[in-house]
Amino acid sequence: MKFCVPPSKEKFWGGHHFSAGRGAGSLCWSGPSCRAGSGPDMLAELLVAVVTGGLILFLVQKSRSQVLKAEDGWWGPGARPDAEEDDSLRPFEVRTSDEELEDLYSRMDRTRPVPSLEDCQFHYGFNSQHLQDVVSYWRKDFDWRRQVHRLNQYPHFRTRIEGIDVHYVHVKPKSLAEGATVVPIILVHGWPGSFYEFYGLIPLLTEPQDPENPVFEVVCPSIPGYGFSEAPHKKGFDTVCAANIFHKLMKRLGFQWFFAHGGDWGWQITTNMAQLDPGSVRGLHLSFAPASRPGLVMALSLMFGRLFPKLFGLTDTDLLRLYPCTDKLLDSMKESGYLHIQATKPDTAGRALNDSPVGLAAYVLEKFSTWTNQDFRNLEDGGLTRKFSLDDLLTNVMIYWTSGCITSSMRFYKENFGKGLDQPHSRIPVNVPTGFACFPNDLMHSPKLWVKQKYRNLIHYSPMPRGGHFAAMEEPQLMAKDIQEFTKTVQKKINQ
């Protein structure tokens, strides 16, 4: 039997020539030159090819079949009771009182200003001179009662899950065209933000002006320990625990499937939701996706990406945001002091912030300055009102103040980082359809190549024209458009 055919019928595959002829024995499997082959050699090579292909297929399938596991927890005080948990959905209303405001004003009036250094702008933190201006506006002009009315423009609820009350805003579309499908979506915030970050985004999703865009039903919860969600009473509540609770919330609301969006901690929580139950998360949209487990691809792209950008698919924007590496690393270190405090001893700093509204405002609002644009550190006023109104910024601060949640929100860092960086969820890829809106002034830049290492089904990557870390609050129009486009892409794939 001869295993050779004329060169014109050969195809090159994996360093060998392979051809199928018309006759039963007309098969060529040979090295670089066509020669008579022996049956045993050919069978051995075929066996190697089959085993190798099978191993690759096994590894791919194993990667796809990995699902994050989470046990039901009990985060309420004391031991879990024998009685079944009350799963009712209770209407909730944000309220304020004269006593609450009098206490706030009294503390503000007794603040002790500390003069800033000359010519320091925001490089030492919140500029003290400008802080006095903010406090003056807060004390004399800011109308918290009016903002409470604004907060209550959307329906609020609380429901008990795993021993704690979980707060959420639930907004349904006011009108719906005949035959239209409502797309449920959960929006998850981070620190030092709150559900209020999404107030400019919600109407754009629930009442889109373009009839071609999907109509969303929005669920916007407060992470337990943030805002009006009860804080866990026990140690260990991390992003996986929050993801498990939010899955239960969505199922309790009757959703068998939904889309999810997250930034900051919301990125990790919604990512964990996609890992816990991929079947229910139809699409995952992110505005923040740092490399949680840097690997070889990331290292090689950093080492050689500046020399061979096309090899790693790096754009001019990627090069601008990544290099020079030492400068970018130093910039990150300048913005990470809070993280070390909160990941180690949150209760110490939290106690001081919980007592002082002025201290709380300085601590929170400084992030809305430098995390929106690091160049704002060069400005005396931190550029705060270039992207946000003082009313919106102080409303977010007041959510922390009136709920007394600053310490419990800071503990979230210790619960996550205290377990180490090599957690099960960091090793499990995400296979649900994923979209990423890459805002140019965010804390960390994530090239498309890096995002794909974790999110294997990345179908939508959008370099955004402007915006920073609090993108949903800063650029709601851009965020809404990207979520809409991503959702349409997912739905199109499903309908094919």
Note the pLDDT tens digit of each residue in 6-40.
Answer: 444 333 333 333 333 333 333 333 344 434 445 65
DSSP at 430: B
Our measurement of the distance from residue 447's CA atom to the centroid of its chain's CA atoms, rounded to an integer in Å, reads 15
CA distance 143 to 250: 34
The Cβ-side half-sphere exposure at 1, using a 13 Å CA radius, reads 13
**Number of residues written out for the chain:** 496
What sign results for the dihedral spanned by CA atoms 302, 307, 313, 315?
A: positive
Q: Residue 419 pLDDT more than 90? A: no
What is this structure's pTM? Answer: 0.86
**Contact of 204 with 480, CB cutoff 8 Å:** yes
DSSP 14-75: TTEEEEE-SSTT-EEEESSS-----HHHHHHHHHHHHHHHHHHHHHHHHHHH----------
**pLDDT given for residue 42 in this prediction:** 56
**pLDDT given for residue 104 in this prediction:** 98
Q: Residue 140 pLDDT more than 60? A: yes
Question: What is the per-residue pLDDT across 455-481, written as a single tens digit (0 to 9) for each?
Answer: 999 999 999 999 999 999 999 999 999
**Contact of 453 with 312, CB cutoff 8 Å:** no
Q: Residue 313 pLDDT more than 60? A: yes
Cis omega (within 30 of 0) on the bond before 7? no
Active site residues: 264, 413, 469
Q: Residue 43 pLDDT more than 70? A: no
**Contact of 390 with 384, CB cutoff 8 Å:** yes
With CA atoms as reference, report the closest residue to 396 among 413, 409, 383: 409
For 72-145, list the strands marked E by DSSP.
90-92
CA distance 80 to 132: 47
Average pLDDT, the chain: 89
For 282, the token pair is: 């139809």
Question: What is the per-residue pLDDT across 360-399, written as a single tens digit (0 to 9) for each?
Answer: 999 999 999 999 999 999 999 999 999 999 999 999 999 9
Percent of the chain scored above 70 by pLDDT? 87
With CA atoms as reference, report the closest residue to 111 among 95, 92, 134, 89: 134
Strand 458-463 versus strand 434-438 pairing type: parallel
**pLDDT given for residue 41 in this prediction:** 60
Question: What is the per-residue pLDDT across 151-195, written as a single tens digit (0 to 9) for each?
Answer: 999 999 999 999 999 999 999 999 887 777 899 999 999 999 999
For 56-131, list the strands marked E by DSSP.
90-92
**pLDDT given for residue 279 in this prediction:** 96
Domains parsed from the chain with CATH numbers: 7-65 (no CATH), 101-293+336-495 (3.40.50.1820)
Question: What is the per-residue pLDDT across 48-88, written as a single tens digit (0 to 9) for each?
Answer: 444 444 444 444 444 455 789 888 899 999 999 999 999 99
Between the CA of residue 56 and those of 51, 269, 429, what are the distances in Å? 9, 30, 16
